[in-house]
Amino acid sequence: MKAAVIVFPGSNCDRDMAEGLRKAGADVEMVWHKDTDLPAGVDLVAVPGGFSFGDYLRCGAIAANSPACQALVRHVERGGYALGVCNGFQVLTETRLLPGALMRNAGLKFLCKPVGLTVATSDSAFTSGYNAGQVLNVPIAHHDGNYFVDDETLAQLHGEDRIAFTYAQNPNGSRDDIAGVLSANRRVLGMMPHPERAIEDLHGGTDGRALFAGLVGRFVAA
* Active-site amino acid positions: 86, 194, 196
Cβ neighbours of 184 (radius 10 Å): 12
Q: Are 40 and 215 in contact (CB under 8 A)?
A: no
Burial 190-199 (b: 16+ CB within 10 A, else e): bbbbbbbbbb
How many residues in the chain? 222
Radius of gyration over alpha carbons of the chain, in Å?
16
Strands 188-191 and 178-182: antiparallel
| Pairwise CA distance, residues 26 & 116, whole Å | 27
Residues near 55 by beta carbon (within 8 Å), at least 6 away in sequence: 10, 87, 143, 144
Q: Are 163 and 181 in contact (CB under 8 A)?
A: yes
Burial of 86 (0-12, 13-18, 19+ CB in 10 A): buried
Angle between helices 14-23 and 209-221 (to 10 degrees): 50
